[in-house]
Amino acid sequence: MKIKLAYGSGYLSINLPEERTTIINPFQVNGLADEKSSIINALQDPIYSQPLLERVSSKTKICIAFTDITRATPNDRIIPWLLEYLGGPSDNITLINQLGTHRPNTKQELESLLTPDVVAQYRVLNHEPDNPNSLVKVGTTSDGTPAYLNRHLVEADLRIITGFIEPHFFAGFSGGVKGIMPGCAGLETIMSNHGSKNIGSNKATFGITKGNPLWEELRDIALKAGPSFLLNVTLNEQREITNVFAGDLIKAHEVGCEFVKKSAMQGVDQLFDIVVTTNSGYPLDQNLYQGVKGMSAGSRILKNGGTLILAAECREGIPSKSPLDKLLRSETSIEEVLKKISAPEFSQPEQWQAQIQALIQRKSNVFVHSMLDDKTISSCHLKPCKNISAEVAKQLNKFGNKSKVAVLPQGPLTIPFLN
């Protein structure tokens, strides 16, 4: 049977034996008939909050936090509609890019994200997690590390946090407080929260916020910024908006998470010998750092000792010379990388991604089909895969005639779990 995998800006076709293959597609959720009206209605009738315009005057200093180029949020629609709704002078509004530890986005990327008109008419800033002048201390993390947040965000009269909600591989769900912490947090603060102890918790996984030590600290620090208004959406695989959740930062997000649990998480009745997954295509599969999310989704239904195959274009590489790239190349095996990360004194940006990759590799053989050359893939302690169909056939033969394969064509847009 022919299966289309989300890959880059298009699709990758593979052929697998129908009788041994289970395809796990996202539930089909229709896009909203009128996205703009739905957003305006949500702003006027928010969840556990007064209407947005009742919090705004001609002198209100507003900070809008938006997601960066690695996220699928339709900023080019949401942000212009939000700004039009707010009205008022543009010099009262600052837009902050929720970069966390990601690289700054270029002017061209910002114009692609927000539209050229928005970039030309408003103050648009990349968050700087390592610039002390752009940060303000709001408290401490659970281990006593100073908690820093973006100064523009904290000092604003009104904070509007935008984004989209999907299951997240260690924070439970994206959106919500993540737009503030880690999105607009200091590097030292993020490093503390994303340390090996929190990442290693069995509660730090898809679909769990309550009892998840990592998410609960994200929440506690985000709330120190002061009251914030949430504007989050959910999306289908066509990147259409399927629902809007606006209002109280915590309460509105909770409602959104319940919607996502029903629409994006699917139970299966067995574990599989082989799982083929993606990272949902571009922009989510632009590098291997992001691709770990696809690995994590697929590994949830993989037998111990099974084979995981990730199809992720990785047009930006690991990225090259990124902290993740340097960390993976610094040791001769993935076990040595994990040992290094687990040392109490060790702290390095992006170590969390390497840790999750290593934990997945402890129980499986991981192959990657991408634009990366074989040497680069091998240097990351992964196995290159030129032809997914041929590799699956080889692995089915290896595991025997009763072995089965599962396919996640849209990667982490669907999060499977064992019933």
Percent of the chain surpassing pLDDT 70: 100
- Whether the per-residue pLDDT at 241 is higher than 80: the answer is yes
The predicted structure's pLDDT at residue 144: 93
pLDDT at residue 299 tops 90: yes
Q: Is residue 344 very low, low, confident or very high in pLDDT (cuts 50, 70, 90)?
A: confident
Q: What is the mean pLDDT of the chain?
A: 96
Domain ranges in the chain are: 2-27+269-418, 35-263
CA distances from residue 415 to 205, 255, 264 in whole angstroms, order as listed: 11, 18, 6
pLDDT, residue 84, reads 97
What's the rounded mean pLDDT across residues 340-359? 93
Tens-digit pLDDT profile for residues 16-72: 999 999 999 989 899 999 999 999 999 999 999 999 999 999 899 999 999 999 898
- What are 370-394's pLDDT values in tens digits? 999 999 999 999 999 999 999 999 9
Give the per-residue pLDDT at 186. 98
Looking at the predicted structure, is the pLDDT value of residue 89 above 80?
A: no
* pLDDT (0 to 100) of residue 321: 86
Bridge partners for 417 per DSSP: 267
Q: How many CB atoms lie within 10 A of CB 353?
A: 27
Average pLDDT, integer, range 248-275: 97
Helix (H, G, I), strand (E, B) or coil at 325: helix
Confidence band for 411, pLDDT divided at 50, 70 and 90: very high
Instruction: For domain 2-27+269-418, give its CATH number from 3.40.50.2300, 3.90.226.30, 1.10.3720.10, 3.20.20.150.
Output: 3.90.226.30
What pLDDT score does 81 carry? 98
Whether the per-residue pLDDT at 237 is higher than 90: the answer is: no
pLDDT of residue 345: 84
What percentage of the chain has pLDDT greater than the value 90?
94
Residues with catalytic annotation?
A: 102, 168
CATH fold for domain 35-263 = Rossmann fold (3.40.50)
How does pLDDT run across 100-121, given as a tens digit for each residue? 999 999 999 999 999 999 999 9
Q: Give the model's confidence band at 296: pLDDT under 50 very low, under 70 low, under 90 confident, else very high.
A: very high
